[in-house]
Structures are given as structure tokens and as C-alpha cells.
Chains A and B, each alone.
Chain A
Amino acid sequence: VNLEQIDLVKESFRLASPRIDEVAQRFYADLFERHPEMRSLFPDDLTTQRVKLAHELAAIVDALDRLRELVELTTELGARHAAYGVAPEHYQLVGESLRAALAAVLGDRYDAEVDTAWRLAYNLVAETMAFGAAGTARPDQARLGGRVAG
């Protein structure tokens, strides 16, 4: 994710913020329509769930340009999700529904570039969450065998 893409994500999220509950609603509707088997991972009443999602998204988007902070945030989040029964293969599905929800709410302002930015940013987050879920070493230290910078 380059700097421009981080900006795009932040900007588009700012635009969507006033209608964040609609984003969350559309996200869950889209996710359960496409993958009904995932419904059981969430509580019956989604009201609080939607609020939580909005808060988590806001925190993550805010931390996107501060990697160390982001990694701490998301690995912890990933560990919690694993306890709910979320498996690594679910992340891809969640990402698709999230982008579909943003696209629906933002309309014309969600163009191909914005979509790419969200996709890459989401992958970054999903990767670190998956590491948190597995309880392994932090990905920024593990993958290339030691930190180089930051």
C-alpha cells in the first residue's frame, strides 16, 4: 500500500463516515446473502455488532500510516476473532463484502483506484489479523526474517 493509496482509503472513509451504519448494514446483508454459513459466527441481534464494526474500522483506518500501531491493533483483533471461530479463509470473504458495502454507499466516488486502495489496505489488515489468530510471531518480524526498519 503506498502513501497515495493510504490517503485514498482515509479520504473515502471520511466521506462514508456520516452513513457508517448503512455501510455496516449493507456489509452484513451482503456477507450473509453470499455466505449464509457465516451467519452463525455473529450474534442474532446485530445492532451492537454494527457499532463495534464502525469503531474498529475507524481505528484501523486511522492507524494505516503508522504500521507498528496498526500491527498491534490488528493482531490483538485477530486473536479475539479466532476465539469467535473466525478462520483465515473467512477474511477474503469479509473483504469482498466490505468493499461491496462501501461501493454501494459511496456510489460514483468509489472508483477503481479507491477499490484497489481498499483491497490492498484490507489485505494488510487481514494478514496481520490472521497472524494474531494463529498466535505466531508478528508478521513484520517473521516473514523476511527480521525487521529492517520502523
Chain B
Amino acid sequence: MIRIQRGRIDVKAVVDSVRRDDAGAIAVFLGTVRADPDVEALDYEVYTPMAIRTLTDLVDRAKAKFGVLGMSIVHRVGRVSVGGDSVAIACAAVHRAEAFAACAWAMEEVKRIVPIWKRESGPRTRRTPRRRSGARRKAREARA
């Protein structure tokens, strides 16, 4: 399952899409919208045809690189409120090690190459979609 969608993500459906009898592990990652100061929601903009293409290629590379059995990725487009899921990745593998590794790798690849941009939205925040600087991201992670 590779999908860009406006509505909420049905996490169970994403997990079920990679279930198979020869898998001994399913790793699931959810990216959620964090309640940073002045942030009530994130608005996601997607170049959907290219995003689907890059996600499809990403899943193929994950299978080749980690030997995973199945991987699904669903990303939201449009507004996602604080606490909502913006992205879900489910990865099935024979053993947990490759499931965890592939899931983590896939999320990094999503942030690196998939044409998706986000804009913070809040009472005093009307920002242009942008990439967070490394310093700012590290500061946020340090507070998390």
C-alpha cells in the first residue's frame, strides 16, 4: 500500500496490508504532529504523482536492501492537527532486526527524497513551507 491521502490514516489497515504468514515481525512507525509553541496543525503539500513514484521506488529499494517481505507507506496531504498521524510506515520481515532497520531507513528516505512540504499553522504562525535547519531540529529533539 502506497498512498497519499487527505483523510486520517487507518493504521490497522496499513499494518494489515503487510501481514503475511512468512513474516515474524511487523515494525510500524507513525509520524505525528507535535504541539510546538504556536503550532496547531501542519499543512502538507505534495507533488503527488512524483511522490507515488519515489515511494514505490523506495519500497523496492527497501526490499532489495533489507530483504523485507512487505512495506506500506501512507502520507497525509492537507491539514493535520496536533496529535494526528501525518505518516505511517509498516514493514514486515522474517525477523525483527530487518523490520526495524528497514522502517527507520524508509522514514529517513521519505524525509530526504519524497516531494512533500509542510507548513506550520497556528495563531501567530503563517510560515512558508521550509526545511527545518539542523540546529533548530536538534533543539526541538532535545526538548522532546
A and B: partners?
A: no
Instruction: State the B residues within 8 Å of A (CB).
Output: none
